[in-house]
């Protein structure tokens, strides 16, 4: 793995050639000295070259993707659509080159003819379709809702900028003007808004379709291309701005070709075809979009006052702000839900840590903690209970019956004490009861109740199980002993009781 990855980092001849071509393009167009016709012909030849490079690299990426599963299949389908879009672009530009060679000084030669524009629209539709089909990472409903708000915020900001830079066509405001305006909006800013949506969906979807470098180059290209499409047509035919706009368009196409080549090399070298997005609690993208729209609003109001464009920008500012506020409200609700889940989990873990799983009684740890607290507060009494002949029950009836007996014992012990007393299962068939500062009569009453409750038989399922227990009691009146010594005294008393019963049974038998 390391060797092909190290080779992928070395200088690539095609990338070096593309970079050199872009540098030469900017130098050549920037220096001038060429006729307008020569610049137009050179521009379309350069566009064909870089778009052909993109097409070949995109096809190779689709061919070399070997990752299995839905993401791998979606990645291959996406790059195949990219390659098809590249073919469409190349064919459209070849057609355009034929028009340019016939009349390089026409307006259509500089800005593109109808067939070339149609090829651009079709290619962009294929690219957007490929991006939209790529799956997002697994999200919960709340995460998906917040992601949609973030996408809507960015799209509202992009729409605001698009409407601000767009120039409405001249002419009488009739049905033809409305149709022409709608077509212009759909073909240029509308189409690229859809492209922005697709890119933002990939960015915020938690699962990138590109390796990091290719993703950065593709995002830069999308932003640059959107800006170039918003430039009014007169600038493309003006001698002062036309060369720079040509160079910028070649740069945008060249960057996407370099991105495809980077993706191709990484995929062929064995890198992942998709870089999973890091799970983050928030994204800065919608906040940046809102800030950008408000900065635009301030600039427009300071320079132009409250005209129609200013109202458009203010409307966009308000929309993005409302969406960000909604995003914050959704985030606060999500945080509250997480806190509630945390509290529930904490309660469950506490229950598991301090209670017996079978009987739900307190376990040894909680009992010792309660005993220590009771001894610090005043007198306390501990009863230690051990079931007699519990192992024969397991042997004769099975462990399920033994578990049922333990559950019933726990229920009976709870019935012998008050709610503020502590009943615990210390382990196996050993139980303990803690009662705090009570009178001697109450203490003796609890002892009698325990003896009665743990004598006789218990029906567990379809069998009748005999029940008897040995009980030991220890009393601490002055708070001078520690919990272990008091529990040990109760343990000794319990074993003394058990021994007396055995002696009694032995003498009766004799």
pLDDT > 70? residue 505: no
Per-residue pLDDT at 271: 55
Q: At what angle do helices 212-230 and 141-165 cross, to 10 degrees?
A: 40
CB-based burial label for 226 (10 Å; 0-12, 13-18, 19+):
buried
Q: At what angle do helices 483-509 and 364-377 cross, to 10 degrees?
A: 110
Give the residue among 370, 358, 433, 432 at the shortest CA–CA distance from 402.
Answer: 358
pLDDT > 50? residue 485: yes
State in Å, rounded, how far the first CA of the chain is from the last one.
84
- Contact assessment for residue 437 and residue 426, using Cβ atoms and an 8 Å cutoff: no
Q: What is the pLDDT of residues 383-395, one digit of tens each?
A: 999 998 888 888 8
3-class SS of residue 485 = helix
Neighbouring CB atoms inside 10 A of 485's CB total 12
3-class SS of residue 390 = helix
3-state secondary structure 52-103: HHHHHHHHHHHHHCCCCHHHHHHHHHHHHHHHHHHHHHHHHHHHHHHHHHHC
Give the residue among 445, 467, 465, 473 at the shortest CA–CA distance from 455.
Answer: 467
- Contact assessment for residue 157 and residue 290, using Cβ atoms and an 8 Å cutoff: yes
Top-confidence residue, 256 or 305: 256
Neighbouring CB atoms inside 10 A of 294's CB total 18
Task: Average the pLDDT over 205-216 and give the result.
Answer: 69
Q: What is the pLDDT of residues 29-57, one digit of tens each?
A: 888 777 888 888 999 999 999 999 999 99
Helices (H), 355-430: 364-377, 390-397, 399-416
Q: What is the pLDDT of residues 246-286, one digit of tens each?
A: 899 999 899 989 989 998 888 887 655 444 444 455 567 77
- Say which residues have a Cβ less than 8 Å from residue 315's Cβ, sequence separation at least 6: 160
pLDDT > 80? residue 201: no
- Contact assessment for residue 195 and residue 226, using Cβ atoms and an 8 Å cutoff: yes
Percentage above 90 pLDDT, the chain: 26
């Amino acid at each position: 793995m390391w060797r092909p990855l190290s080779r992928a980092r070395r200088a690539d001849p095609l990338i070096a050639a593309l970079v050199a071509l872009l540098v030469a393009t900017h130098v050549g167009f920037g220096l001038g000295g060429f006729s307008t016709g020569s610049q137009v012909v050179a521009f379309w030849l350069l566009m064909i070259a870089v778009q052909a490079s993109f097409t070949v690299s995109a096809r190779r990426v689709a061919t070399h993707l070997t990752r299995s599963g839905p993401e791998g299949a979606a990645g291959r389908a996406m790059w195949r659509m990219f390659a098809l879009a590249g073919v469409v672009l190349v064919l459209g530009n070849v057609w355009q080159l034929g028009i340019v060679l016939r009349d390089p000084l026409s307006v259509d030669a500089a800005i593109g003819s109808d067939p070339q524009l149609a090829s651009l629209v079709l290619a962009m539709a294929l690219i957007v379709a490929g991006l939209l089909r790529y799956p997002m990472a697994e999200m919960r409903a709340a995460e998906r809702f917040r992601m949609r708000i973030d996408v809507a915020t960015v799209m509202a900001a992009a729409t605001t900028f698009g409407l601000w830079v767009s120039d409405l066509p001249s002419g009488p405001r009739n049905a033809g003007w409305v149709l022409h305006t709608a077509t212009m909006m759909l073909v240029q800013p509308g189409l690229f808004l859809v492209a922005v949506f697709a890119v933002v969906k990939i960015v915020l979807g938690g699962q990138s379709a590109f390796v990091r470098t290719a993703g950065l180059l593709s995002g830069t290209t999308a932003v640059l291309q959107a800006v170039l499409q918003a430039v009014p047509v007169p600038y493309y035919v003006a001698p002062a701005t036309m060369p720079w706009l040509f160079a910028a368009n070649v740069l945008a196409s060249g960057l996407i070709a370099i991105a495809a080549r980077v993706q191709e090399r990484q995929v062929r070298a064995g890198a992942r075809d998709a870089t999973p997005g890091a799970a983050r609690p928030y994204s800065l993208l919608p906040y940046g979009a809102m800030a950008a729209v408000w900065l635009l609003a301030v600039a427009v109001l300071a320079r132009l006052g409250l005209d129609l464009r200013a109202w458009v920008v203010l409307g966009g500012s308000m929309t993005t702000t409302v969406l960000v506020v909604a995003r914050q409200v959704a985030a606060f609700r999500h945080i509250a839900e997480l806190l509630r889940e945390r509290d529930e989990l904490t309660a469950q873990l506490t229950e598991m840590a301090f209670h017996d799983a079978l009987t739900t009684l307190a376990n040894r740890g909680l009992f010792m903690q309660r005993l220590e607290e009771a001894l610090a507060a005043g007198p306390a009494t501990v009863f230690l209970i051990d079931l007699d002949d519990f192992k024969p029950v397991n042997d004769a009836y099975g462990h399920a019956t033994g578990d049922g007996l333990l559950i019933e014992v726990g229920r009976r012990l709870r019935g012998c004490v008050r709610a503020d007393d502590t009943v615990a299962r210390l382990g196996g068939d050993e139980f303990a009861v803690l009662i705090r500062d009570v009178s001697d009569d109450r203490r003796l009453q609890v002892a009698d109740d325990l003896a009665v409750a743990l004598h006789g038989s218990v029906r567990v399922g379809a069998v009748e199980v005999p029940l008897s227990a040995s009980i030991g009691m220890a009393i601490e009146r002055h708070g001078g002993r520690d919990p272990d010594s008091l529990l040990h005294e109760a343990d000794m008393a319990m074993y003394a009781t058990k021994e007396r019963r055995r002696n009694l049974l032995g003498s009766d038998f004799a």
